[in-house]
Structure 1
């Protein structure tokens, strides 16, 4: 699940436009709310290494956003009523409402035309973005017409992706031809493999020896276009999940194993034989739990009336987030605090805690919200560090989007400000994906400013993080009314 790190503009430009086969202009169609955009004559989109780039003219004329181009700094600013996105030609770092985030492809200057990544801009502006591989088309859904997270847009045919087997020792799985579901994401934490799919899928799971491994076959599935943005996927439609800290798991591989019927296969390579349980109780989520024993299978999440809390460590993997004044990554701080919160919540008998990520892995915003929604989580808490490169603000603030989240935001913020001892920047409304697309009370916590030297000196301090984690847990417990 590694993505490209920061690249110099010259390298990106040479990789993006070395020869005709790598960048095809005008080869992709764009649909907005089901209607194909009729682009102005001479305006073309480009497909660069499977990333759709569009001229900034398309953003203003067809998508209706305000666009400003600053020639001296080669920066593009895109605005709507809720969000401001600033990007710089050749830079993998964008600025979203003052906070820095990473992009997997940079804006480029092609002659007199500036091209920006369509998926990144559209998703930040609150649009749902999907790719149809068969039609070679991008489908955009505005917030007014958007379906629930994880649902397929009815007007979009499912892609049929050709592939090749990666493990000839394992037999093909039978399946019934028909509409393909897509595999949108794969993650591994707490000795539990999670596979996110666009629709309910019944997996075939079995063990093999020599070497020991667990095989998960997903009949009538293919990788979604978004999967390739978040995970390694080579030209043979296969890849490997980066897993560390689990000595009994040596490797996790995935591939489009068969195209007749189209079948995605995930293989967990083990250092020793392990038992497992499989859960498909939540439509669109498959869990293969390696914590099982012969006598005591792992109980399903949220069983026995327990409250389900999803803790989201912001960014991760190829999306490092903001860079602190001393060169530390936001993703590192987020994960450290999140894991401390997880450890404390595991001591609570009436709470089941689920992490969106437990290691330095990349996970899309939609996968984070889909996990919480499919689990029917009681609350969702996203942990972040703040940044502002134009000045040096400081302090702690908490964001929410929906009215149902205000109480949670106020309670957690009260405990969080007391724990940090930093300036109280209050509870604020914000149009953020993880607080907007979740169906339960959800908040995003900005612990402090990595761009402020005073805040930053504490954010990576162990004692400070322990206090913050305890404050978050105290707020969660007060809101859920658990002792």
Structure 2
């Protein structure tokens, strides 16, 4: 089905839909919007008039969050949505759209206090799919996946406002909605921190490629704007730097009934994904992007020979234009990762039976594919990626070790995590299977160490100190040596 943006949907208005049937009112007619039955005004029915299916317009547009105004004197109805204004007059085949006249194929009619219009007004102009069951006299309306998520939620009573509104008297008030507190993108993951429980819905679109994640019965919290841009109409965009798969992340208060927050990950090419839910100090929803096979040449400056020593690749995460997470005191994760990794390198250089290779040793940014290719082309024995963790919420803390679901990587992770916990002394968040690019695409035992949380005040105070980094560097080296059996 062709996709329309909301602004385009209301460009011009009413025209008829030819359907089979006689010129009489449908008996016991019903109408559904996205599977939810809509309540028709009392004694107002869906009609089939000479092949034109007529429906009460207020029922539909108010459920879509539009403002509807009825003028008794002029017998006209005005529909407002953002900067679009549509005016229809009863028994008049001319409508006004943004001040311009449009000829209609069927006239709006007044039925017992309600204005009814041809069904195509809804189906075409609001981008909906419409099905008419002539046997059961049922109209089914289905809203499409909208390409643009930047449309505001309009209060039907005022025509403005950015908070969730609804014309459904049975809708949940905002106090009962889940709250989206913050979002971030790192390690090819979109992380969303939420207060309350939510069942996310994910779909993919093409032309261009993107992943759409909807959070029903949710709204942005009052504190969301403290960490992310959020305009007066509850729209915003998260800039993504240093990830070749993603061009950006858009977010919006997409729907008012039910109140729904939408996130759209704009991709540079089609990708698969994994959706993870974690409930710890708060609900954390993670959308993990899954890349395909790499075809990137390794850095020509990386040695290819093997003189019998074990090859260990140390990967300081992020770098250059990709700062990674930003800490509580505005420090950059890339700097922590590099500082700790360089200390690990210096210790490994003292080991006669180990050859250490760095994916970066300065503020540069090798792509995720390049980091993997360095290790794979060297046929390395071990790959260790060093990171500082972060969460949109400030309470999560501690150290965690990730591996991809291979037995050898799990064995490495268990050893490395034991030494990591001894070195950091932070909360133990355990050994976790994770679908992260650099540990998934590498062919040798590989782990990603999340040393501590830059978003947590206690953890961050330690992460950037020399003593802490020296202890952790020694723990990492001791773990590598034990796993490799090197004395």
> Which of the five TM-score ranges fits, normalised by the shorter chain?
0.3 to 0.5
- TM-score for both structures, normalised by structure 1: 0.47
- TM-score for both structures, normalised by structure 2: 0.46
